[in-house]
A and B are shown apart, each in its own frame.
Chain A
């Protein structure tokens, strides 16, 4: 006898109208932002704040109709998405979203052609709220479509990379009057220096904390008595605000540089990369140690037993069984640490460590928002790319994971 029979059963949806509500909402939002908000703004120079233009004056009627038509098609498709040929509908929507993403830089070109006076060498086109919101909503739609179509990670990458290349091509060839590009062109060398500094700091910090973290985790496995104390110290380090930790290291390292000749000759000083690196490593240790320790502990004792039973030595068990099984979780620690370090390195610019944070804080100081964007957007991109790449690697290494 089943208890379930008399229970009220959740009613199925009415069949005549069963849209995919998520995509319907997202595409309606995109339409609203596209038509209702300011798409671009134009300023005669860097100081003056720009005047905003809605989509009609920026793109003209043909461009507006093309964009609105494509988004309307999305709305229409999302209304019939849950019906029988839903996979086809989702595929069509995916194609439309990709097309829209690909058309966006060309929309900027049209806006530049129509709005920016070519006689003013400093005139610049700012990207407006409507453009950003539409872009954001389209990316969300892409995430949703990816889930619905159950696309593998590699597929979504192969879809995004051509779009990214197209954007890069448009940016470097034809979008010079874009405010972001004007900022970039006036300091392109600094940009690459900042990129290099940022990468170096993050890479070194993650590398050092990976080694230290492995060592600490192994020590903690050998001497379980120290576990609690070690985690207490690491937890304490994480509670110090990042801003303060950078500040607190200034004086001790300056003292070190002044009193220890070796330190000074290594380039250690109160400001610059040295305090930044120390703070980054201090922050990175907790996630690294925690994940390494948990990963090594969580390997099933039965597996270890079986390995011993097969006649493996302790060393073999560790290197050939425990370590490979723990690797995905350890990589998860590396992923968290890397993403966190990319963000923290930005703050390190305040103590003269360079990196993209220089642009952010200089821009904030000069109230030059395009410069802030020039620093903040690469940071977001770096963090997302690092997250996706390391996530893919740890998927790949998981036993029976995506190959």
Chain B
């Protein structure tokens, strides 16, 4: 896609509206789930209650967002810091180990990490946050490394020749040039974590995974659909927001 058409796309109101559409659908689904009782009745004609009502959906959504946001904050900070540190002259010794770790860590299934976190941290929200942090860290580290390493050495040299300090080169040259790749990593990490956070319901963390687990345990598909619907809408809202930001970045 040429730069011109990318600029055009970023400004067209239709494109900007996509995240808003998903967000408003999510809001509608959270507040008006009870109005959809007739629809869910189709899935489960025989059971007594078809709308998950043990905890309010907005509370579940809030908890889900909280877990994902904390994990994202930590992973973005740590991942960026680690990626930047090992590409500096002083930290270059650690580069092989960190990049190997980033690929090895990807082979650890999140369920296994979650299960291993429980003996150490107990039941509840903490183990799922830790599991999400470990799992979400790797795409960010990997993409930060790729992004920073792909910056043309000639450009860095030119910046140095213009008298920029290494801090200025990092902030004004390297990071802006690596930003699209880094952002892609953050997008992958956060989107995967929104879906993975549902696993927290199996270790006693209450979030949007709750209706799914309750549905599986009680054989009530309607519950499962409600949990899946909300998680899917949340993932789509966040993902499309990231897509817009990426388009903006590319348009520059």
Contact = CB atoms under 8 A, between A and B. Distances in A.
B251 to A, nearest CB: 22
Contacts of B199: 242-243, 347
A308 to B, nearest CB: 31
Contacts of A350: 202, 213, 216
Contacts of B203: 364
Contacts, number: 141
Nearest to A252: B221
A208 B219 CA distance: 28
Contacts of B215: 247
A93 interface: no
Contacts of B227: 241, 244, 247
A346 B216 contact: no
Interface in A296-342: 339-340, 342
A277 interface: no
Contact of A376 (B112, B157, B201, B232): B112
A140 to B, nearest CB: 7
B195 A241 contact: yes
B26 to A, nearest CB: 14
Given A147-B97, A347-B111, A379-B109, A239 B221 contact: no
Interface string B99-118: 01100101111111001101
B111 A239 contact: no
Nearest to B99: A147
Given A10-B89, A364-B115, A239 B96 contact: no
Q: For this complex, into which size category does the number of interface residues on chain B fall?
A: 35 or more
Which of B44, B123, B227: most chain A Cβ within 10 A? B227
Interface in B151-189: 157, 160-161
Which of B93, B231, B232: most chain A Cβ within 10 A? B93
A251 interface: yes
A375 B115 contact: yes
A369 interface: yes
Contacts of B221: 247-248, 250-251
Contacts of A344: 109
Contacts of A272: none
Interface in A356-373: 357, 360-361, 363-364, 367, 369, 372-373
A54 interface: no
Nearest to B233: A239
A372 B93 contact: no
B225 interface: yes
Interface stretch (A181-189, A259-267, A380-388): A380-388
B109 to A, nearest CB: 3
Contacts of A351: 216
A241 B231 contact: yes
A362 to B, nearest CB: 11
B112 to A, nearest CB: 4
A44 interface: no
Nearest to A245: B228
A380 B108 contact: yes
Given A147-B100, A347-B199, A372-B119, A383 B94 contact: no
A83 interface: no
Contact of B96 (A7, A147, A250, A363): A147
Interface in B201-229: 201-203, 209, 212-213, 215-216, 219, 221, 224-225, 227-228
A336 to B, nearest CB: 9
Contacts of A243: 198-199, 201-202, 209, 212-213, 216
B6 to A, nearest CB: 18
A372 B118 contact: yes
Contact of A346 (B97, B100, B109, B209): B109
Contacts of A147: 96-97, 100
A244 B109 contact: no
A176 interface: no
B109 A22 contact: no
Given A239-B195, A248-B224, A387-B107, A376 B209 contact: no
B191 interface: yes
A144 B232 contact: no
A20 interface: yes
B228 A247 contact: yes
A78 B103 CA distance: 25
Contacts of A373: 115-116, 119
Contact of B228 (A140, A241, A375): A241
Interface string B120-133: 10010000000000
B100 A143 contact: yes
B141 interface: no
A3 B161 contact: yes
A145 to B, nearest CB: 10
Contact of A129 (B107, B120, B198): B120
Leading 7 A-B pairs by shortest Cβ distance? A343-B109, A244-B228, A247-B224, A369-B119, A241-B195, A251-B221, A376-B115
15 contacts: A8-B160, A21-B94, A148-B96, A239-B191, A239-B232, A241-B228, A244-B228, A248-B225, A250-B221, A339-B107, A340-B109, A350-B216, A357-B111, A372-B115, A383-B107
Interface of B: 43-44, 89, 93-94, 96-97, 100-101, 104, 106-112, 115-116, 118-120, 123, 157, 160-161, 191, 195-196, 198-199, 201-203, 209, 212-213, 215-216, 219, 221, 224-225, 227-228, 231-232, 235-236, 239
Given A244-B224, A250-B216, A373-B119, 8 more contacts: A148-B96, A239-B236, A241-B231, A243-B202, A245-B228, A250-B221, A339-B107, A372-B115
